[in-house]
Structure 1
Amino acid sequence: MCRPRQWGTAHRASRARPGNEMPPDRCPATVRRSRHRGRDRRLGAPPDDEVRGRAMTTAHTRKRRSHGTDAPPRSRGARSLTPLQFLAYGGGDAANNLAFSLAVTFLPLYLTDVALISPATVGTIFLVMRFVDAFTDVIMGSVIDRTSTRIGKFRPWILAGSIPLIALAIANFAMPAGLHGTVWAVVWAAVAYFLMGSVAYTAVNIPYGSLAAAMTDNGTERSRLALFRSFGTAIMQVALALAISPALSAYAGDPDALQSALIRTLIPLGVLALALYVLLFAVSRENVRRSVDRVSLRSSLRTIASNRALQMLGASSIAYLLGLFAANGLVAYYTRDVLGSAGLLAVFVAAISGTVLVVGWAVPPLIRRLGKPRLFRLAAGVGVVGALILMLVPADMLWLAVLGALLFGASSGSVNAIMWNMEADTVEYGEWASGYRSEGTTYAVFSFLRKLAQALGGAVGIWMIGWFGYQGGVPAQSDSAVNGIRLAMGALPAAAMLLSILLMRFYPMDDAAHRRILADLDERARRE
């Protein structure tokens, strides 16, 4: 029999009681691979020897299984949320994407064609600044885990950071005209992006993303939260494209007029984003109980070190998102220079970002039927097909290009919803492996990896079109530059998404294993 893990002085007596031993067939040191629906269902144990002998299946779960059931365990928090809470949570990410989607989709074009900064320099700014704000995410996550107020750990940060974030998002597009084309344009771009992305966005997005794991521990409800989050992202991305693309067409070749039109467009959207943040603060609640309110940085890092599920989810996400962010940063270039019409930007952003509004409803039932890891791989495969179509389609076959964008969008919307759902599940894996619940640091590490992918994807995409001869501010691009845009929009995402499919095969926790972990955590909570 495997001995129970003595994982804390306060728990040693309870964990050492007779009956807590692990059955040999469930011991992480001797667990065997089994085939279920044609794939490996093994739950890998954390690599840390300190937690290798932990009993995952408790007397409580063995009793349930002896009666022939595998029902979800009793909740330690709210199992069901209200429709308004789902809408408010989705609205929160719509507000986040005023800054995020502007930075990913429109800021590169603004910096190359309005601020007149070279593509190589723009790519370097994004790489350095996004790498920096990836580190600030981890710092913010630790700060949140040590936060404990009367109104919660996460909601106060969202409310306090909302106004600075909105103001800085607009400031990134308000560079004084006298700086355009000078070295001071580079300084403005770098400082403005740092303040928005590394400071204000981090202060809002890390608590926002961590909030889902604290609102409920029910898998179905988390799937719905992730779905509404994807809806909020898509709605804001489409709204931005519809609002901005007319200005891109009307003021082509007039940087000053284009900048003025962008600011006039963004101010009312900023007011809307602020209202959505206030709604989220007002209706969301942090329901899942914690054994420790304040978690030290050392304990948080111990949780991450033992969290193999988070590590493999992060590796798969880096690969997928590298390709996704490379493509998202080039949509404006693709429609204008490959397809020949800047007016198509709204159509393609709607196809790529808005498809989740149609296919997203199928994600929760498909998760229940196929499981999250398998659905991740299938959805990423659809993205590979869409990216290859975008690369190879002739410029005069618009319908086929739109089809490629729709497939690409169906993939990105589905995979992002699955990622957010899986990230919340890894919180329980880390708690089971270490004894500490660290929503803030777990989400911060995941956000760190996402931003690392965003930095690499955005930089490599912009660098690639620069390598092929792209020139900002000219009436038409060379054939070489157009081919570079095609490769960066198609071949790069397809290769990255294929890599993510391979990495996801090593993810250690399927949905059944997550239910067993919840049962074990529930049993521990009752003992305390």
Structure 2
Amino acid sequence: MASLWRGGIRPSDQFWPSCAASGKKPRGKREKSVLRVQLKHLLAWCGPGMPVAALGLPLVVYLPPHYAGTLGLPLVTVGLIFAIVRLVDIPFDPLLGALMDRTRTRIGQFRPWIIGGAFLLAAGSWLLFMAQPGVGALRTFLALFILYLGYSSIQLAQVSWGSRLSADYAERARIFGFWTASNVLGNLSVLFIPPLLLMLVPGSTPTEGVHAIGWFILALIPVTVAIAALTVPEGEAPAPAHRFSFRQMMGVLADGRMKLLLLADLLLSIAPGITGALFLFYFTQARGVPLETASQILLCYFIAGLAAAPLWIRLAQRWGKHRAGALAATWLGLIPLVLPFLPAAPAWPSALVMLIAGIPYAAPAFLLRAMLADLNDAQRLDALQAGADNGETTGLAFALLTATQKLGYAIPVGLTYPLLALIGFDPRPGAGNSPNALAQLEMLFIGPALLLAAGAALALARWPITAEAHALIRARLAER
């Protein structure tokens, strides 16, 4: 076990032996002066996350069935395209992160990347959402690739910027809690668009619903990015710019704490990714729920996640981020186990279960990113104590976390869709599927997510940077 922790340090050693040996006590109370971010700045900084998050649900839940069903691409082709694009895009994340670490401009370090990413995101969204029947595999691949480049640029710049808004352990939970809440709000807004369109334009088709989602995202991108870029202070980089090197990236990856965080993030990305990729298939075909009702059940899930976000912020501040994260992971895996024991009709018991299952939905994303911000402080102190070059690695670290998240989202569609084809599942609306195919669909919907969430909970339970350890790290950094 000692080899997992840099220098052979275990969590029981309070993580930072040099601080513990100093005899200093951690701060008993939180410093509340310059460490708390103004609400207007926090809300403006969160804004660009909304269109990015609004893309997340269609990319997993709506667009793959739309391309496989309405637009006519083969099921296996759709699964492979959505998986391969994410896999091809992943190596770009560390490169983008390293370039952000080197960036120093008159308008800041991260603003140029958010602004540039907005143009790519808008172009990719147009190509992807406005596609017509008969669209080819190559065009779909290129549209997804452009979209993901913009997605990565905005998200990496935003979360790296967020880690600099405050150095306080508890305040970072608040910052990234707001960020995740805005992401959930972006997801929720997308869910309202198809039924709203149906109310305003009776008889509108699912294709028109996909187009409406695309227009909504295209409208959000310039407004939210402009507000953030013009109003939120960025602050100065804590370390000088440096040249990118694979040695530096491997140094970040070699940290046992980073490995633990990346493992938890990967598992907690795959688990809900499987649930999302199979959600509409499971509820409409295995449980016989109408598409409109299935969308309402999914809405319950996200509403619960948004409403419960303040609860997880408080739990993180009181219990520690790692303990709150372990609880959230356990919750995510266990609650859906109830679904097979419920009757298919009426639908309200299933909606209630998904409402309860959605309570921890927002927690892992913001907790892991707040934990990474704490780890960045620890790694900076590592470098100072070792007398090493203290180059800026914030963007690179968040890029690696984003890469594992993308990998986690690529695996579900790339794995489950070919498996569905293998068992003979027909994805077309109203298609008749055999009881065996539906039973295996149910197993895929519930079983893997349970095992993956359990693994993530075990990883998070071993996280060594507590509030007390982080207070000591910040004290040591302040002395230098």
TM over 0.5: yes
SS at match of 2:47: helix
CA distance in 2, matches of 1:237, 1:92: 13
Match of 2:180 among 220, 226, 230: 230
What is the match of residue 219 of structure 1?
169
| One-letter amino acid of the structure 2 residue matched with residue 314 of structure 1 | L
What is the match of residue 478 of structure 2?
522
**Aligned alpha-carbon RMSD (Å):** 2.9
CA distance in 2, matches of 1:520, 1:57: 11
After TM superposition, the structure 1 = structure 2 runs for residues 383-422 of structure 1, keeping only pairs within 5 Å, are: 383-422=332-371
CA distance in 2, matches of 1:212, 1:330: 33
What is the match of residue 144 of structure 2?
193
Q: Which stretch shifts more, 299-308 or 422-431? A: 299-308
What is the match of residue 334 of structure 1?
282
What is the match of residue 105 of structure 1?
61
341 and 304 in structure 1: CA distance in 2 versus 1, 3 angstrom threshold? same
Q: Is the 8 A contact 1:391 1:490 kept in 2?
A: no
CA distance in 1, matches of 2:377, 2:297: 38
After TM superposition, the structure 1 = structure 2 runs for residues 82-481 of structure 1, keeping only pairs within 5 Å, are: 82-179=38-135, 185-197=136-148, 199-245=149-195, 257-287=205-235, 289-294=237-242, 296-297=244-245, 300-301=248-249, 303-337=251-285, 338-434=287-383, 435-478=390-433, 479-481=435-437
| One-letter amino acid of the structure 2 residue matched with residue 361 of structure 1 | P
CA distance in 1, matches of 2:176, 2:214: 26
CA distance in 1, matches of 2:192, 2:436: 30
CA distance in 2, matches of 1:246, 1:29: 57
SS at match of 1:215: coil
Q: Which stretch shifts more, 354-363 or 280-289? A: 280-289
CA distance in 2, matches of 1:431, 1:302: 16
265 and 305 in structure 1: CA distance in 2 versus 1, 3 angstrom threshold? closer
CA distance in 1, matches of 2:20, 2:236: 21
376 and 30 in structure 1: CA distance in 2 versus 1, 3 angstrom threshold? closer
CA distance in 2, matches of 1:119, 1:392: 30
After TM superposition, the structure 1 = structure 2 runs for residues 41-52 of structure 1, keeping only pairs within 5 Å, are: 41-44=12-15
SS at match of 2:129: coil
Does residue 1:494 correspond to 2:450, yes or no?
yes
CA distance in 1, matches of 2:340, 2:459: 24
471 and 28 in structure 1: CA distance in 2 versus 1, 3 angstrom threshold? closer
Q: Is the 8 A contact 2:322 2:460 kept in 1?
A: yes
CA distance in 2, matches of 1:291, 1:414: 30
Q: CA deviation at 1:375?
A: 1.2
| One-letter amino acid of the structure 1 residue matched with residue 472 of structure 2 | R
CA distance in 2, matches of 1:326, 1:200: 24
Q: Which stretch shifts more, 96-105 or 436-445? A: 96-105
What is the match of residue 10 of structure 1?
none
Q: CA deviation at 1:30?
A: 7.9
72 and 224 in structure 1: CA distance in 2 versus 1, 3 angstrom threshold? closer
Which whole-Å deviations, capped at 9, do the CAs of 1:23-47 have from their partners, x for residues lacking one? Answer: xxxx98686x6xxxxxx543457xx
CA distance in 2, matches of 1:74, 1:238: 33
Q: Is the 8 A contact 1:323 1:497 kept in 2?
A: yes
Structure 1 residue runs of 5 or longer lacking an equivalent are 1-26, 34-39, 46-53, 180-184
133 and 310 in structure 1: CA distance in 2 versus 1, 3 angstrom threshold? same
| One-letter amino acid of the structure 1 residue matched with residue 84 of structure 2 | V
CA distance in 2, matches of 1:354, 1:340: 20
Q: Is the 8 A contact 1:308 1:508 kept in 2?
A: no
- For the pair shown, the structure with the greater C-alpha radius of gyration is 1
CA distance in 2, matches of 1:400, 1:465: 26
Q: CA deviation at 1:221?
A: 2.2
Q: Percent identity?
A: 18
437 and 42 in structure 1: CA distance in 2 versus 1, 3 angstrom threshold? farther
Q: CA deviation at 1:101?
A: 2.6
Q: Which stretch shifts more, 204-213 or 470-479? A: 470-479
Q: CA deviation at 1:484?
A: 3.2
Q: CA deviation at 1:143?
A: 0.8
| One-letter amino acid of the structure 1 residue matched with residue 363 of structure 2 | S
What is the match of residue 386 of structure 2?
none
Aligned residue-pair number: 468
Which whole-Å deviations, capped at 9, do the CAs of 1:219-270 have from their partners, x for residues lacking one? Answer: 222111211111111111111111125679999xx9x953344224421442
TM-score by length of 1: 0.81
CA distance in 2, matches of 1:507, 1:489: 29
TM-score by length of 2: 0.89
Q: CA deviation at 1:304?
A: 0.6
